[in-house]
Copies of this chain bind each other. A is one copy, B any other.
Amino acid sequence: MAKVAIMGYGTVGSGVYEIIRRNSEKLRSNTYGEPVELKYILDIRDFDDHPEKELFTKEFDEILNDEEVTVVAEVMGGLHPAYEFTKSLLQKGKNVTTSNKELVATYGSELLAIARENNVNYMFEASVGGGIPIIHPMHQCLVANNITRIAGILNGTTNYILYQMIENGKSFETALADAQANGFAEKNPAADVEGFDACRKIAILASLASGKEINYNNIETKGITEITLDDVVCAGEGNGVIKLIGYADMLENGKVYATVAPMFISKGSPLAAVNDVFNAIMVTGDCVDDVMFYGKGAGKLATASAVVADILDCVRHRNSNKNIIWTKTEEPVEAGRDDVSFAYFVRSNNSVSEVNAAVKVDRFITEDDKSAFITDKMTESEAEERLSKLDIITSLKVLG
């Protein structure tokens, strides 16, 4: 009998509860027949009207000190006390699953090491892409590959906004207001539209792929607040779309180049067809080439179903660490911006001849006194230097 606790009865937590109650027989079949029994729900609030109010507790120590509890789902969010709780639970030899991307991105290397020392698991499938299977497929199914690149649409809110701009010709401001009206965006949308959310997620994926901690504070992050309808329309004329991309390039020298930025994606790419609030993560391996994982990146039951899958995996591997790990490295692992090259999508107030005099162009999208074009590949420094000679309206990296 595997006894489980849920910490945090918010959106995801109540979803975890609902799934455990609804699919108990199915879950049992995936734990070598061992039933999964919910023993505690930790929340500081009162739930006196809850049909199983006896499960609720406000005392973390009750869970920590209950020898019967072997798996705990941390779905409370935030750094504190989630970090302290998770650390104590792992040190006590309890498995922890989480949807808390902030915590995984910030303390992942430490918590994963503690889990390994104590021969338990710290699992976080739900921290990226909601219910989309991505962590386990990357770690387990693609294990025979060296993962060389990750490019993901990791934030549904910004994808919805850009999609509204692309499909319905709305301005950024109108599309954002829409998203807020539809509950896809917070009143304060900074975490989404400034790219902070996507930054945490690409930090997790890049750390998992490289085995080295990629500190999200070192990831250059640009949101979509400066993307105009003109940019989107011009990209369309250039047979592309603009998407907010979390990008990580695992270089052969062992360093990792990671960034979050709106990028130009040509319509041929499957990422270009990821619309509305959907997420998609394109992973490139040296054996499989490109594989993509697509779905809703958020939502109560979707995210909760990933947490529950991790709970079952913890039950199955209760006494064996799955070796999901990344470590802090001595010297910085982050590659410099000039260790990689990109082509650039550029809108300018210059003529074709002025443009050609300044930079090598792959193709022009518009050829007038406001030339728009795609450049050849170059380093960021070279791009800055060459484009500084022009009157630039917009310049975005092209996802090659």
Kindly state whether residue A145 has any CB partner on chain B within 8 Å: yes
Q: How many residues of A contact B (CB 8 A)?
A: 57
Kindly state whether residue A99 has any CB partner on chain B within 8 Å: no
**Additional 19 contacts, C-beta under 8 A, given A131-B285, A270-B274, A270-B278:** A15-B287, A23-B146, A32-B321, A131-B288, A133-B291, A136-B136, A140-B309, A143-B312, A144-B306, A273-B273, A286-B301, A288-B296, A288-B302, A289-B295, A289-B299, A291-B296, A292-B292, A293-B293, A293-B294
User: Chain A interface (Cβ within 8 Å of chain B)?
Assistant: 15, 19, 23, 26-27, 29-30, 32, 125, 130-133, 136-137, 139-146, 268, 270, 272-275, 278, 280, 285-296, 299, 301-302, 304-306, 308-309, 312-313, 316, 320-321, 323
In the bound complex, residues from chain B placing their C-beta under 8 Å from that of A304 are 144, 287
Which residue of the partner chain B has the closest CB to A290? B295
The verdict on A305 contacting B142 (CB below 8 Å), with A290-B295, A320-B32 known, is yes
Which residue of the partner chain B has the closest CB to A33? B323
In the bound complex, residues from chain B placing their C-beta under 8 Å from that of A268 are 275
Shortest distance from the beta carbon of A123 to any chain B beta carbon, whole Å: 11
In the bound complex, residues from chain B placing their C-beta under 8 Å from that of A15 are 287
In the bound complex, residues from chain B placing their C-beta under 8 Å from that of A270 are 270, 273-274, 278, 280, 294
Q: Please provide the 10 A-B residue pairs with the shortest distance between their CB atoms, ordered closest to farther.
A: A133-B141, A273-B273, A131-B288, A291-B295, A287-B305, A292-B294, A144-B308, A144-B305, A133-B137, A287-B301
Which residue of the partner chain B has the closest CB to A272? B273
**CB within 8 A of A142: which of B142, B275, B309?**
B309
In the bound complex, residues from chain B placing their C-beta under 8 Å from that of A125 are 141
In the bound complex, residues from chain B placing their C-beta under 8 Å from that of A312 are 143-144
